[in-house]
Structure 1
Amino acid sequence: MHIRMDWKSITFDWNRARAFLVTAEEGSLAAAARSMGMTQPTLGRQVAALESEIGFDLFTRRGRGLELTPNGIKLLEHVRLMGDAANQFSLSASGKSDVIEGDVSITASELLATFMLPRMIKTLREVEPGIDIEIHSTNEVRDLNRREADIAIRSVRPTQPELIAKKLCSVRGHLYAAKSYSRQLGHPPTIDELNKASFIDTENPGRLMELLNSRGLNLNKQNFPVISNSHVVQWELVKQGVVICATVEEIGDNEPLVERVIISDLPLITMDLWLVTHNELRTSRRIRRVFDFLVSEFSHN
């Protein structure tokens, strides 16, 4: 597709071009306005003025976000080169090199956000101090298409074609109990003793009871006297010796107060972790930097 314009009739305004560039990279006027430190109406007027000047639309609305038109995609290639040149000029003038600044939001489950991400974010902040991180700790799936987060760590590979997914690793899960509770049950507890034990799940009865019964136990609702939708709360109750729960090795094996409850030679749970972002956001240097950094950190975890 070719874009034909009478460039002689266009008075170039870098502020308008930059407004278009940042909006394209952020995916919405609200996010772009925050990134540029201006109000959304002001940014919207700059983008609208550029569209009026060149004579075609750059974006179409999609839910809460914006999607580039075919003409917008074509023009973005040129404006991005201009932006890179402007950045290099600014960096050279200030004596800096290759600095990336701005906000990136990451969504992950409570356990990952609590026990695995902090160490990685500490390293990221050391190597990229200009990137500010917002962590959404939730067991619910955030909608990346609606820009509810920039990057997600998920246990299921997404099927939407507009999302990019990279497999991080495979994790295995086991039952864990406080060492004091294991001694109380019998060390190690037998199947009969486990049938009398207390467990915890997000609902009563839940999937954990079904899974354990498929492994030879005979549990019922009475084995789940406490429930919680928070995995962090569940884990604290395990550490206190109140209940038994299932979690991944990377968390359970690193807690000195607990130990595995072995009911077979196989792990109770095996799943893959995926790093996901929207394909439009992958063109942002800032988001691409965080995405690639997390891939590297998980590969060395």
Structure 2
Amino acid sequence: MKWDDIKLFLAVVEQGSLSAAARELKLGQPTLSRRIGELESLIGEALFIRQTQGVTLTSAGEKLLPAAQRMAEWANEATQSLSKQKQQLSGKIKIAAPPGVALDFVVPLAQTLQQHHPQLRIEVLAGIETLNLSRGEADISLRTRAPTDDDLICLDQIKAPMRILASSAYIKQLPDSYTLDDLDWICWSDSHQELQMVQELKKQVKQFNPVFTSNDFNIQMAACRAGLGVMLLAKVPPIFPHLNQLHELNIAHGFSSEAELFVVCHKRHRHLPKVAIVLEAISAQFALARRQMA
């Protein structure tokens, strides 16, 4: 199917009749009717029910309409991006990310993007739930697991080893010799027991019984900074400033797994200019982080 024919189809849908669409497109009605007929022949089904007062969509037309509207969106974005005059990127981009990543990575990223694209609006959806990109719940997802949906693509990723962190006050009160079982653990609440980090702690720490739990990562971090206990966290680079307030324990822990963060996007959105510019900025920060961890 040619985009020019899809534009004619959308015009008829929007105007409600062949005659009104022909006037809008500045085409003769016989020409428009012929072109629509050729599109219907190509598809193998009628797209419109012709009536005296206009047209209505058939079931085939209803099926075609969402894809045609997306094609119009892509065409509009492509026209803007290829314009000789510099276009100001605008609109909202929804980024889903775990709470710590949202706080220390996405917020500074949004600040940088705003300096270069002031009309771009960033909406951060912080949480550990995996949002559905196919349904438009987010445009970009920073998630801890690789996508399994064929319509989603992983555009970048970063890995980091695990380490145990605590406040300086907590470390000072530790004995000269201690084991994992002697530490006061801060962890996720019972509603999040399926998380990889919780499972790793249960495997490595005998009779694992955390001293403090929360379903909010930032609450856990506050408890750790206050000296209530220790946390198992990824060894991330200095671009995550809230971790600079904590210190790594010098202890052999045996945690073998690595923390991973994937940049995920839907195939049909990755080349939209406003999405592409955010993906480019994320990849640049990931590249910086990898150099700092090397």
Q: TM-score, normalised by structure 2?
A: 0.69
Aligned partner letter, 1:237:
A
Number of the residue aligned with 1:201: 187
Number of the residue aligned with 1:123: 112
Match of 1:80 among 58, 75, 79: 75
Shift of 1:291: 1.6
Aligned partner letter, 1:146:
R
Aligned partner letter, 1:11:
A
User: Deviations for 1:225-267, whole angstroms, at most 9, x for unmatched residues?
Assistant: 3210111110110110001111122279854442112332766
- List alignment gaps of at least 5 residues for structure 2: 12-17, 26-53, 290-294
- Secondary structure of the 1:148 match is coil
- Is the contact between residue 167 and residue 272 of structure 1 (CA under 8 Å) also seen in structure 2? no
Matches of 2:172 and 2:132, distance apart in 1? 44
- Is the contact between residue 141 and residue 264 of structure 2 (CA under 8 Å) also seen in structure 1? yes
Match of 1:282 among 270, 287, 290: 270
Task: Tell whether 2:152 aligns with 1:170.
Answer: no
Task: Tell whether 2:234 aligns with 1:233.
Answer: no
User: Deviations for 1:34-53, whole angstroms, at most 9, x for unmatched residues?
Assistant: xxxxxxxxxxxxxxxxx959
- Secondary structure of the 1:281 match is coil
Aligned partner letter, 2:140:
I
Number of the residue aligned with 2:22: 11
Matches of 2:237 and 2:80, distance apart in 1? 45
How has the CA–CA distance of structure 1 residues 167 and 184 changed in structure 2, closer, same or farther, with 3 Å as cutoff? same
Task: Tell whether 2:100 aligns with 1:111.
Answer: yes
Matches of 2:185 and 2:253, distance apart in 1? 20
Matches of 1:146 and 1:257, distance apart in 2? 39
- List alignment gaps of at least 5 residues for structure 1: 15-50
- Is the contact between residue 164 and residue 279 of structure 1 (CA under 8 Å) also seen in structure 2? yes
- Secondary structure of the 1:116 match is helix
- Secondary structure of the 1:243 match is coil
- Is the contact between residue 169 and residue 274 of structure 1 (CA under 8 Å) also seen in structure 2? yes
Task: Tell whether 2:135 aligns with 1:146.
Answer: yes
Matches of 1:175 and 1:78, distance apart in 2? 47
Point out the more displaced range, 243-252 or 133-142.
243-252
- Is the contact between residue 153 and residue 273 of structure 1 (CA under 8 Å) also seen in structure 2? yes
Matches of 2:101 and 2:225, distance apart in 1? 17
Matches of 1:54 and 1:78, distance apart in 2? 21
Shift of 1:220: 3.3
Point out the more displaced range, 156-165 or 278-287.
278-287
The count of aligned residue pairs is: 245
Shift of 1:281: 1.6
Match of 1:272 among 260, 276, 281: 260
Matches of 2:164 and 2:267, distance apart in 1? 37
Aligned partner letter, 1:143:
N
- Is the contact between residue 156 and residue 263 of structure 2 (CA under 8 Å) also seen in structure 1? yes
Shift of 1:107: 0.6
- Secondary structure of the 2:22 match is coil
Matches of 2:103 and 2:181, distance apart in 1? 31
Aligned partner letter, 1:281:
H
- Is the contact between residue 177 and residue 260 of structure 1 (CA under 8 Å) also seen in structure 2? yes
Shift of 1:82: 9.6
Identity across matched positions, percent:
17
Shift of 1:178: 1.1
- Secondary structure of the 2:149 match is coil
User: Deviations for 1:116-144, whole angstroms, at most 9, x for unmatched residues?
Assistant: 22222111111111211100111111111
Task: Tell whether 2:119 aligns with 1:133.
Answer: no
Shift of 1:197: 2.6
